[in-house]
């Protein structure tokens, strides 16, 4: 059976049963579990420090009303971070390369921030669609443009995360394939591509963390606009 470079993005299955749910729930096993002691080891200290750092960074743009979202945003950040990093391991499947999953994460949370704004401050939320001092002839076109830019926010969140992770995985597979093919014929070139592969892997580690942070940070900024 011929395999293409894009087969790595198809959901794995066992006996016809999709395993994407297993891949999605796996990161939860790496999170600290409740215990009768505050600190159970060095790993728990590192985990708690990371959770505290993430929460503090996400809550900086928000006022006190937005701090109610701390648990949701921090949990989403940890989920995306662990999922993206686990997807860089060999022979693994990355659920966040699926646009459908990313949209399923982005759309409900974006809609929740929008509904909160319309409920708490409807005039201010609707005022974002028409900046003050807009010339009268431009009002219909500007309202249409601002409404379109508002509605494509969840799509932009999902596409950004999907595109960055997919591009990185494809580059790693292309360069690793070239390294393997060139090893028997041109060892020197193969060693050079191996170095490039190592540097690209480090870059992808950074991209996996940055994209998870950007996804949640933009959601927190959308929340701040509506509270």
Predicted confidence at residue 157, as pLDDT, reads 92
Predicted confidence at residue 37, as pLDDT, reads 65
* Residues whose CB is less than 8 angstroms from the CB of residue 81 and which lie 6 or more positions away in sequence, other chains included: 208, 209, 212, 213
Tell me if 7 is assigned to some domain: no
Tell me if 10 is assigned to some domain: no
Q: Quote the domain boundaries for residue 68.
A: 19-226
Tell me if 174 is assigned to some domain: yes
Q: Is the dihedral of CA 111, 113, 117, 119 positive or negative?
A: positive
Predicted confidence at residue 83, as pLDDT, reads 86
Residue 36 DSSP symbol: S
**Number of domains the chain contains:** 1
Tell me if 138 is assigned to some domain: yes
Q: Supply φ then ψ for residue 196, to 5 degrees.
A: -60, -40
Predicted confidence at residue 88, as pLDDT, reads 84
* Exposed/middle/buried for residue 72 (C-beta within 10 Å: 0-12, 13-18, 19+): middle
Tell me if 193 is assigned to some domain: yes
For the full predicted model, state whether its pTM sits above 0.75.
yes
Tell me if 8 is assigned to some domain: no
Tell me if 154 is assigned to some domain: yes
Predicted confidence at residue 224, as pLDDT, reads 85
Tell me if 46 is assigned to some domain: yes
Taking only the tens of pLDDT, the chain with its 227 residues reads 345 666 666 666 666 666 666 666 766 666 666 666 666 677 777 778 888 888 888 888 788 888 888 888 888 988 898 888 888 887 777 888 888 889 999 999 999 988 888 888 877 777 777 777 777 787 788 888 888 888 899 999 999 999 999 888 888 888 888 888 888 888 888 889 989 989 999 999 999 999 999 999 899 888 888 87
Predicted confidence at residue 2, as pLDDT, reads 45
């Amino acid at each position: 059976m011929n395999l293409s470079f894009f087969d790595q993005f198809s959901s794995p299955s066992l006996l016809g049963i999709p395993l994407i749910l297993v891949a999605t729930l796996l990161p939860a096993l790496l999170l600290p579990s409740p215990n009768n002691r505050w600190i159970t080891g060095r790993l728990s200290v590192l985990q708690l420090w990371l959770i505290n750092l993430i929460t503090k960074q996400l809550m900086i743009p928000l006022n006190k009303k937005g701090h109610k979202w701390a648990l949701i945003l921090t949990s989403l950040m940890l989920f995306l971070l662990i999922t993206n990093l686990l997807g860089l391991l060999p022979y693994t499947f990355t659920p966040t390369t699926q646009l459908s999953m990313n949209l399923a994460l982005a759309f409900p949370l974006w809609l929740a921030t929008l509904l909160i704004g319309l409920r708490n401050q409807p005039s201010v939320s609707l005022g974002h669609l028409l900046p003050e001092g807009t010339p009268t002839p431009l009002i219909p076109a500007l309202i249409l443009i601002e409404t379109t830019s508002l509605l494509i926010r969840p799509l932009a969140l999902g596409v950004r995360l999907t595109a960055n992770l997919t591009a990185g995985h494809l580059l790693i597979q292309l360069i690793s394939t070239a390294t393997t093919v060139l090893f028997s014929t041109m060892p020197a070139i193969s060693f050079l591509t191996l170095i490039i592969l190592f540097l690209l892997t480090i870059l992808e580690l950074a991209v996996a963390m940055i994209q998870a942070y950007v996804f949640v940070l933009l959601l927190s900024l959308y929340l701040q606009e509506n509270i």
